[in-house]
Amino acid sequence: MSYAKPILLLAVSWLLLAGINPAWADNKLAAQVQANDTTLELCAEVALRALGIFKFGYGGLYLADCADYDKVTGDIPKQWSVLLTRDAKGKKLTEIAEESLEDNFSAEQLAGLEKVFSCMTDAYQDTDDGGQIDVRYLPDTGLQLWRNTELTADCGGDAEAAGYFRIWFGEDPFNSSMKERILEQASDQADKA
């Protein structure tokens, strides 16, 4: 009797349970998004888990050029998307964003960006299972929050506002393991191009 098939199935199951999305797995998020005149490519996608166990969605990083993954908190076109597999409370999303911003910016920096960042964090709304939240930054328009393909907040801001992505990709991100997986996948995607 061959053990190759059960071992392969076990390995694939482990990868999926660990939140790793192999390159050959079906992506849950769109392969590209059009943001004004810029096409953003899905450079990485991972399953998002609470406490490392409960999947609550899929997160994806979109960039105009996946090779720019190491500049994700800088002044480049980008989008962070979350496709939810559970309901999410806007208040909880706001709390997470505000706490992570405090962890990644000095009080002086936050004071200078308060208007733009408050615009974003105040715009989070309750979103049902199957809904999608997109945080987009374009150098010519600034920060935007989209919910289910509808623009919910157009917050503007300059190059410093691009730092909002520090929530997920800063020195002290919301989830460091997720950050590492996303950036590793984006690097791999850039190497393939």
- The answer to whether the beta carbons of residues 177 and 110 sit under 8 Å apart is no
Looking at residues 27-33, what average pLDDT do you find? Answer: 90
- The answer to whether the beta carbons of residues 165 and 135 sit under 8 Å apart is yes
Please state, as a whole number, how many other Cβ atoms lie within 10 Å of the Cβ of residue 56.
16
Q: Is the dihedral of CA 96, 175, 155, 56 positive or negative?
A: negative
The per-residue pLDDT for 53 is: 67
The per-residue pLDDT for 32 is: 96
Which residues are CB-neighbours of 55 under 8 A, at least 6 positions away? 19, 47, 48, 49, 85, 86
The per-residue pLDDT for 96 is: 87
3-state secondary structure at position 75: coil
The per-residue pLDDT for 182 is: 95
Predicted confidence band of residue 52 (pLDDT cuts 50, 70, 90):
low
3-state secondary structure at position 134: strand
Range of weakest confidence among 63-67, 124-128, 149-153: 124-128
Looking at residues 10-26, what average pLDDT do you find? Answer: 41
- The answer to whether the beta carbons of residues 76 and 100 sit under 8 Å apart is no
- The answer to whether the beta carbons of residues 55 and 102 sit under 8 Å apart is no
Q: Could you tell me the two tokens for 17?
A: 């349970």
Predicted confidence band of residue 51 (pLDDT cuts 50, 70, 90):
low
Domains of the chain (ranges, CATH numbers): 26-192 (3.50.70.10)
Residue 175 φ/ψ, nearest 5 degrees: -145, 105
The per-residue pLDDT for 101 is: 94
pLDDT beyond 70 at 8: no
